[in-house]
Amino acid sequence: MHELSIANSILEAVRKERERLNGSRITKVGVRIGELAGVDPDALNFGFEVLVKDTEFEPLALAIEFVARRHECSRCGRVFTVVEYKVNCPACGSTDTHCIGGDELDLAYLEVEES
Amino acid sequence: MSRLPLEQKVLSENDRIAQRLRERFLERGLFCLNFVSSPGAGKTSLLEGTLERFSRNERVALLTGDIQTDNDAQRLARFGFPVKQITTGGTCHLDARMIERAIEDWPLESLDTLLIENVGNLVCPSSYDLGEAAKVVVLSVAEGEDKPLKYPAIFFKSDLMILNKTDLLPYVSFELAKARANALQVHPGMEIVELSCTTGAGFDDWMKWLERRRESAKAVAQS
């Protein structure tokens, strides 16, 4: 259960951005979480709600985009989504594919109300 | 209402400190490993066996993380190498800042290997870079061969999987081949070593892996 620390890191970033944007109200923060990031979206949502409640951040929504693991075929170059750990290339069948994404833990965007 | 793109890592502060550590380690040719497993898989026993096999003049140091107690540091200290316990007081993983603080008063130039035993947990440590050269995940045959599929993050991010407690194989329904296949499905090309801390079987393979990686870290530092 490290989602509370992660929620806290998200709020730290929001705090920094708020200072930078002085005066504008941040209403939503968007994050991108890969399936290999080891972060549970429900637990993160819960931790985020707990940390935001009754603070100066309220109301602040968290939008989570959960992204799948993607591989690229080293032989034919096809990029594909890995479903249930099947890493063979769906185009040419090669087993020589490599991971190009799916472990994201990124801050993607902020939604801001102009003051 | 406007949307501002904000492309940065959630854990950018941790990553920044980890990168600073990694650069310090690389400069000095210091090889650092981060050991992760569920509680009781045998990280401390693996480290005990490893220290036992090192000659006394090896320049090795250890950090060991736990939520409470310094039991592990006491177990590891008897080999004569510098050991420091990091007690997280509830936190389920080590982060880069804890490592930076712990090594503050250590003369890094007198070391060439730093072994970090993370808090027993297959989930949370996978998100925190500690500046290590590689993560090593330890899975014991008492746990179940589907763990790589259930906890893919740590198996995906580890360079080596150690299958520990192989001496228990006659008594548990654990299929080694299936465990290997599951790990390779999550992380194609991952290296795997089978060993038993109790009998010592397989330790040679593990020590060879460690030596090989240590040598290549040194070679990078010298180039």
Instruction: Flag the least confident range among A47-51, A81-85, B37-41.
Output: A81-85
Q: Which two tokens mark A22?
A: 């002085």
- CATH among 3.40.50.11540, 3.30.70.1230, 3.40.50.2000, 3.40.50.300 for B13-216: 3.40.50.300
Mean pLDDT of B139-143: 97
Contact B59, B65 (CB under 8 A): no
Q: Which residues are A30's β-sheet partners?
A: A63, A109
**Domain residue limits, chain B:** 13-216
Query: d(Cα B180, Cα B164) in Å, to the nearest integer?
Result: 12
Q: What CATH number did the domain enclosing A72 receive? A: 3.30.2320.80
How many separate domains does chain A show? 1
Query: d(Cα A109, Cα A32) in Å, to the nearest integer?
Result: 9
- A contacts of B157 (beta carbons < 8 Å): 36, 103
3-state secondary structure B137-180: EEEECCCCCCHHHHCHHHHHHCCEEEEECHHHHHHCCCCHHHHH
Q: What is the mean pLDDT of chain B?
A: 94
- B contacts of A110 (beta carbons < 8 Å): 3-4, 6
Beta carbon pairs, A and B, within 8 Å: 94
Q: Does residue A20 carry a pLDDT above 80?
A: yes
pLDDT band at residue A115, thresholds of 50, 70 and 90?
Answer: low
- Main-chain dihedrals φ then ψ at residue B179, nearest 5 degrees: -60, -45
- B contacts of A12 (beta carbons < 8 Å): 13
Q: Select the more confidently predicted residue: A21 or B38.
A: B38
State whether A9 and B156 contact (CB < 8 Å). no
Q: Which two tokens mark B223?
A: 């180039």
Q: Does residue A3 carry a pLDDT above 80?
A: yes
pLDDT at B120: 94
Which residue of A36, A97, A114 is in closest CB contact with B156?
A36
Instruction: Give which of B158, B213, B159, B167 is closest to B194, Cα–Cα.
Output: B167
Q: What is the mean pLDDT of chain A?
A: 93
Task: Among B10, B13, B95, pick the best mutation site for testing chain A contact (most A Cβ within 10 A).
Answer: B10
Task: Among A85, A89, A100, A112, pick the best mutation site for testing chain B contact (most B Cβ within 10 A).
Answer: A85
pLDDT band at residue B221, thresholds of 50, 70 and 90?
Answer: confident
Q: What is the pLDDT of residues A73-99, one digit of tens each?
A: 999 999 999 998 888 999 999 989 999
pLDDT band at residue A114, thresholds of 50, 70 and 90?
Answer: confident
**Which residues constitute the domain of residue A11?**
3-113
pLDDT at A21: 87
Q: Which residue's entry shows tokens 């709020």?
A: A11
Q: Does residue B89 carry a pLDDT above 70?
A: yes
Contact A110, B6 (CB under 8 A): yes
Q: Which residue's entry shows tokens 């549970």?
A: A40
Q: Does residue B67 carry a pLDDT above 90?
A: no
State whether A17 and B153 contact (CB < 8 Å). no
